[in-house]
Amino acid sequence: MTRQDPPKTSFTNQVQRKQPRGVGHKGANHKKTFSPSKPSSLTFDTSDRKHDNLTAQQRAELVFGKVGSRKARREDAEKLTRVIAGVRVPPRPEEPENCCMSGCINCVWEMYKEDIDHWQEKRKQAHEALMKTPGATWPADFGTPPADRANDPEAKDEWDDVDVSIKVFLDTEKRLRKKKQAKKLQEMGGGAAQQQQATA
């Protein structure tokens, strides 16, 4: 008894017609497969080393900006300080460019806030001294005189111009720092109480 192949149905014919043709054929249905030997488009070319000749500090400056000490910044500001009605007024502090957003103890934005407060206080003192001096006016080349908040309710604080995300970041950091300090004091207090109990 010879075995006979089942008759080809219309479904079998359709499947055969849909099978991919030979390689290189115009109608070939090839699936793209990942080849580990071929680099993908996300591969970085490490042969291009533009910054190899830079020092570690210079490379850090490319990322975080120039890192200047607070003393150096104060000295630079001192050179541009103006004496107005007997009050030494520093120039407006510049916003920092090198914040790493990692919660440093001495955050450059906190130092900037202190510098802004100091600058505003000196401007206010100079403005009040000018008001008491007949005929004296605010120097035209030293910015606008400080607004009187009592008479001008819409007077803006310089800190208001700072980005909201920076303000939120600083507020969060302050809260975390206070929390850590409170926890440390509590631990120190608990340790002292245990010592007293041990000595009693």
Helices (H), the chain: 10-18, 56-64, 70-79, 108-132, 164-199
Residue 85 tokens, joined: 């009605």
pTM, to two decimals: 0.49
pLDDT tens over the chain, length 200 residues: 556 665 555 555 555 555 555 555 555 555 555 555 555 555 555 555 666 788 877 776 666 556 555 667 667 777 788 888 888 888 888 888 777 777 777 788 888 888 888 888 998 898 888 888 887 888 887 777 776 555 555 555 666 777 788 888 888 888 888 888 898 888 887 655 555 555 55
The CA distance from 158 to 148, in Å, is 14
Please enumerate in sequence order all residues whose Cβ is within 8 A of that of 147, keeping only pairs 6 or more positions apart, or say none: 155, 156
Provide the residue type at 146 as one letter. P
In order, the DSSP letters of 94-140 are PPPS---SS--TT-HHHHHHHHHHHHHHHHHHHHHHHHHSTT----G
- The string of pLDDT tens digits covering residues 34-63 is 555 555 555 555 555 666 788 877 776 666
